[in-house]
Amino acid sequence: MSLGYAAGFFARAPRRADVRIVTLNMGLVRDSLPMLAPLIEGRLVAEGRPLRPADVDAVVFSDPGFERAHTYALLPRVRRMCALHGLRLIVLQKPEPSVAAVTLRQLPPPGDPARAAWASRRMTWPSIGRGSCCPSAPG
């Protein structure tokens, strides 16, 4: 969860040039889903300051593609809860296997000095995934 980043948001005075994005990054299981209720109630604390739904730009669920069925069954309820409280829910999903395979084929082999340079240029490749984070993609 980005509580440290959220705490930094509150710890210093805003400057016009600052662009801040505050997210609650969570899974949909027993250890992270309970963080949503205190946020909705204004009781989720970041370095001594409570966060309210209006303080958070988005709730982010990263779907690795192999969650258990009951986790996926919760997603519609979490969407409704977020919508009810004015929270934007973003579901990040891995790209289709064929898209990931193309990207990975471009990766230089281990030990090749070009590998580090390639990785630093390609850090955004998961953004080609599907989901509610991509307006033109289904999800």
Q: Are 42 and 110 in contact (CB under 8 A)?
A: no
**Residue 135 included in any domain:** no
1: nearest Cα among 29, 35, 24, 31: 24
Domain-located, residue 52: yes
> Is 116 found in the same domain as 66?
no
The whole-number pLDDT of residue 58 equals 93
Q: Is there a single domain that holds both residue 78 and residue 125?
A: no
Residue 62 has pLDDT above 70, yes or no: yes
Residues 84 and 122 in one domain: no
Residues 64, 116, single domain; the answer is no
- pLDDT tens by residue, 9-57: 555 555 555 667 888 988 887 778 888 999 999 999 876 889 999 999 9
Show the domain range for 13. 3-93
The verdict on 109 and 41 lying in the same domain is no
For residues 94 and 64, the answer to whether their CB atoms sit within 8 Å is yes
Instruction: Give the chain's domain count.
Output: 2
Q: Read off the pLDDT band of 60 (50, 70, 90).
A: very high
Q: Residue 98: which pLDDT band, with cuts at 50, 70 and 90?
A: confident
Instruction: Looking at the structure, tell me whether residues 19 and 80 fall in a common domain.
Output: yes
Give the burial class of 56: count Cβ atoms within 10 A of its Cβ; 0-12 exposed, 13-18 middle, 19 or more buried: buried
Residue 8, domain member (yes or no):
yes
> What does the pLDDT look like over 22-31, one tens digit per residue?
889 888 877 7
Whole-structure pTM value: 0.58
**Which is it for the CA torsion 130, 132, 138, 139, positive or negative?**
positive
The reply to whether 112 falls in a domain is: yes
